Structure 1
Amino acid sequence: MTKSTITKGFILSGIINTLGILFFTKGFTNEVIPETDPVVMSYFGLLIIMIWGLAFIAVAKVFENVKWLVAVFALEKLCYVIAYGYWFANNSVQEVYDRDLIAGVFYSIYGLNDFLFMLFLGMFSSNS
């Protein structure tokens, strides 16, 4: 991957984590998302996701100097993938759709999104 592509990947991840949260939570007014998973997706948890997004953007142009931090980012994504897998195995996304379409879409895609960015970050953090 070129440096430009990797930089864009970091920025994209940051935008998804920040603006995506604002969109899906309807500016933190959508109560269905935190009610559906009050541990991981509480309003505080959602705010922290946005802060992670800002961290991705902050290192976008200096990522090659912070490979260990990129590995931490990949680990963070792994935690969300595991949390999503656990939630998905024990809950019904259809019930979320029945309550709110946007929250249903959120719970349908957030695990895949985190998995893809985990692979991206993991691949990069392991390069020398």
Structure 2
Amino acid sequence: MENTLIKRGFILAALMNFSVVVFSRGFTNTAINSADPVVMSNFGLLMIVMWGLAYLCIGLSNSSAKWISAVFAVEKLIYVVIWILWHSENSVKAVYSEDILAGVFYSIYGLNDLIFMIFFVWVFYLSSKNKDVLPSTST
């Protein structure tokens, strides 16, 4: 059961990262870029997709998830902190007025990252306790 849940969690994390392609309208939505030109440039959005590919690789592999889960948790923590800082200095209402998809994106991406940060910490914890709690392609 835990193996299946972990595998699905990694795949869901990948799909959530891939959703940036929808929110950015295929990297053409300049409202996302202009609201945070450093973190959410088209390059930054592409890197979000690349992290998604990394999550997908772990979710579909039989390899150890322990240390890579720790790396993923730190990566998500960074995005959560950036999201909180962005909200403390910017208005999501202004982003909504420019583009609704960009507004939704800025409203939820930090919460999404927080949820998956907790998931990755949980996988790291389980992997530390029990080496058999890793994604498996046999389930």
- TM-score above 0.5, yes or no: yes
Q: Which has the higher helix share?
A: 1
1:21 matched to 2:20:
yes
1:62 CA drift (Å)? 3.7
Structure 1, unaligned runs of 5 or more: none
Conserved? CA contact 1:63–1:70, under 8 Å? no
- Give me the CA root mean square deviation: 1.2
If asked which structure has higher relative contact order (CA below 8 Å, sep 6+), I would say 2
1:106 matched to 2:110:
no
TM-score with structure 1 setting the length = 0.95
For 1:44-55, what aligned pairs fall within 5 Å after superposition? 44-55=43-54
Aligned letter for 1:84?
W
Runs of 4+ that moved beyond 6 A: none
Tell me the number of residue pairs that the alignment of Structure 1 and Structure 2 aligns: 127
1:126 CA drift (Å)? 1.8
Equivalent position of 2:132 in the other structure: none
Q: Identity over aligned residues, as a percent?
A: 48
Which deviates further from its counterpart, 96-105 or 56-65?
A: 56-65
Equivalent position of 2:9 in the other structure: 9
Equivalent position of 1:67 in the other structure: 66
How far apart are the structure 1 equivalents of 2:62 and 2:92? 35
How far apart are the structure 1 equivalents of 2:30 and 2:106? 13
